Amino acid sequence: MASSVKVLFLCTHNACRSILAEVIGRDIVAKQVLTTTAQWQFASAGSEPAGVVHPQTLLQLAHRGYSIEGLSSKSWDMMADFTPDLVITVCDSAAGETCPLWLGQTLKLHWGLPDPTSADPANMDAQFSRVIGTLENRIKTLISLPLSAGIEAQKTALQSIANQFPLT
């Protein structure tokens, strides 16, 4: 097993869903005592980054006790040195995009989620709660998988995570 598993979350604008996933992943790993020897690293990026994290994303994360320090909307071109073991798209438009060549044969999954920032203002808090809860469940499941045989060997289990935890 690799001592480190790097996960890159992609969303076209890297302003909400991929940022949520990055922050949630980092927080879960920081707070849990894992029974695996893997060290998990999470990052996020976008093909057409907005340049700023959506203000509602920051507000919703802070409201739930997540650290928002140092968050930024960045291009996937800035992540070439990150060399992920796993790439997870969280928006449908990013799932259909051609990934940069540097991602090569990296295992790619799709965890499609609606954009809570596009919800009706009266429903935005509820939509954020659903998306955040879904990401928390999916990421907890991801980091609990026994990856001793490697990510490629766990491809089926990894791909089934989104089906196990549909948007709640």
N-to-C CA span, the chain: 32
Please indicate, yes or no, whether the overall pTM of this predicted structure exceeds 0.85. Answer: yes
Q: Using the 8-state DSSP alphabet, how is residue 38 labeled?
A: -
We find that the CATH architecture of domain 4-164 is: 3-Layer(aba) Sandwich (3.40)
Catalytic residue flag (residue 16) = no
Asked whether the predicted pLDDT for residue 14 surpasses 80, the reply is yes
Alpha-carbon gap, residue 40 to 104, rounded angstroms: 20
Exactly one of 7, 8, 11, 16 is catalytic; name it. Answer: 11
Catalytic residue flag (residue 11) = yes
**Where exactly are the structural domains of the chain?**
4-164
Asked whether the predicted pLDDT for residue 38 surpasses 80, the reply is no
Exactly one of 99, 119, 124, 157 is catalytic; name it. Answer: 99
Alpha-carbon gap, residue 102 to 56, rounded angstroms: 32
Alpha-carbon gap, residue 48 to 32, rounded angstroms: 33
pLDDT tens string 129-165: 999 999 999 999 999 887 766 777 778 888 889 888 8
Exactly one of 91, 103, 109, 142 is catalytic; name it. Answer: 91
User: E strands of the chain, at which residues?
Assistant: 4-10, 39-45, 86-89, 107-110
Q: What is the pLDDT of residue 105?
A: 75
